[in-house]
Amino acid sequence: MDRRHCPPLVLASFTATSDIGIGNAATLASLRSKHCGLRPCDFDDVEVPTWIGAVDAAETQPLPPQWRRYDCRNNRLAELALRQDGLLERVRAAADRYGPRRVGVFLGTSTSGILETERAYRRREPADGRLPADFDYRGTHNAFSTVDYLRRRCGLEGPAATVCAACASSAKAFAVARRMIDAGIVDAALVGGVDSLCLTTLYGFHSLQLLAPAACRPFDAARDGLSIGEAAAFALLERAPSSLDSDAVLLLGTGESSDAHHMSTPHPDGLGARIAIERALGDARLDAGAIDYVNLHGTGTPSNDRAESRAVRATCGSAVPCSSTKGATGHTLGAAGALEAVLSSLCLGAGLLPAGLGTVQVDAALGVNYLTDNRTAPLRRVLSNSFGFGGANCCLVLGTAG
């Protein structure tokens, strides 16, 4: 028996909040004006020579008082994003239409609200090392915290899980939700990713010597590492109805694989990435030639970009226009897959092939058609790549209905 073909799903609503904008209008305006949201790291009292993509409004966004136990930067960022572009209303309307048990929640994150634990460890009881009494592990730190919060916030009772695949997490959330809808377990799903700044990732990537000292420059010949950002991005996925507006955005295919190579370094030839791209194209029933633009994972580390360029060349050739929006947003880790799916959706609607910001001299050795300037052109099919620690790979094919 072969794998069942899954019909396309529609992104009935979507929104993104990152350092380049709170909500879709501001985000698209930033893409159009080539605005980079990165700045020298001033997060907390962190002393790491790098730049960050921060969402300052996340720090002050209140949660409704009845959900106080979930209060942390990660859930404030989720709440801020949920309030944009009518998403909360659309999700609640889906719960009314399908029934709350028929709407799932699948989100990706890498560090959830671990910042609360990091801070609690600085406030340990001197006598016995206890954590402060106000520390709420379940509400903040646990990887399920944001899914738990959003289920309650939106009144959803369907299947739910946090998808944890490091920097491929929220791309995989789309794949998990797609299978759940395909299998008939849910009729719709709130999918996305939320990841926020914390000490673990800033000091952690610093320890691996993977942070750029200034704003990252993906695919540049002189690229020297990544910049960490934070973001929340969501989509409401449903089965595509028989008639759709021509500018409706569809999830056409998902492809996943594992590198089986190394915990923190990609396969040098991008073999796992290549398999994921091929599976995504196969799932979408598209030839590589149908792809108009590739939103690269493009972190800006020498080895990541090299491996990805090989995978893209091997699958889509060297002519397809591509760029990494991480030059504007930084690497938003577990939120990156969802953020870039939403950015790709905005670009599909606007007919915009976005420039890769920060990149001055494209690395000719990578052999891809990397965009350093915005281009306006009809756009129908986009491939979005996400790869993570543990060798997790996930690629999405998005397209317009028309």
Partner 1 sequence: MSLGAYVDGIGVFGPGLPDWGTAAQVLRGAGAYSPTPTELPAPSILPVAERRRTGRVVRLALAVAVEAVRGAELDPAQLPSVFASSGGDGANCHEICSALAESAREMSPTRFTNSVHNLVAGYWSIAVGAMRPSQTLCAYDASFAAGLLEALVGVATEREPTLLVAYDAPYPHPLHAARPLAAEFGVALVLAPRRGVRSLARIEATIATGEAPALDDARLEALRRGVPAARSLPLLAALASLAGEEPRVTSVEYLDAAALRVEVRACA
Instruction: Enumerate residues 113-142 that contact partner 1 by CB under 8 A.
Output: 114, 117-118, 120-122, 124, 129-131, 135-138, 142
Residues 232-271 that bind partner 1 (CB under 8 A): 256-264, 271
Q: According to the binding rule CB under 8 A, does residue 68 interact with partner 1?
A: no
Among 15, 75, 110, 324, binds partner 1 (CB under 8 A): 110
**In angstroms, how far is CA 200 from the centroid of its own chain?**
19
Residue 255 CB, nearest approach to partner 1 (Å)? 8
Among 7, 62, 86, 101, binds partner 1 (CB under 8 A): 101
* Listed residue (231, 202, 189) closest to 76, CA to CA: 231
**262 catalytic residue (yes or no):** no
**216 catalytic residue (yes or no):** no
Among 100, 159, 282, 321, binds partner 1 (CB under 8 A): 159
Catalytic residue among 41, 72, 297, 395: 297
Among 26, 39, 203, 302, binds partner 1 (CB under 8 A): 203
Residues 274-303 that bind partner 1 (CB under 8 A): 275, 279
Q: Radius of gyration over alpha carbons of the chain, in Å?
A: 20
**331 catalytic residue (yes or no):** yes
Residue 192 CB, nearest approach to partner 1 (Å)? 15
Q: According to the binding rule CB under 8 A, does residue 311 interact with partner 1?
A: no
Catalytic residue among 72, 154, 164, 167: 167
Q: According to the binding rule CB under 8 A, does residue 179 interact with partner 1?
A: yes
Among 8, 21, 253, 272, binds partner 1 (CB under 8 A): 272
Q: According to the binding rule CB under 8 A, does residue 74 interact with partner 1?
A: no
Residue 364 CB, nearest approach to partner 1 (Å)? 30
Q: According to the binding rule CB under 8 A, does residue 392 interact with partner 1?
A: yes
Name the segment binding partner 1 (CB under 8 A); options: 22-30, 198-206, 227-235, 239-247.
198-206
Catalytically active residues, by annotation: 167, 297, 331
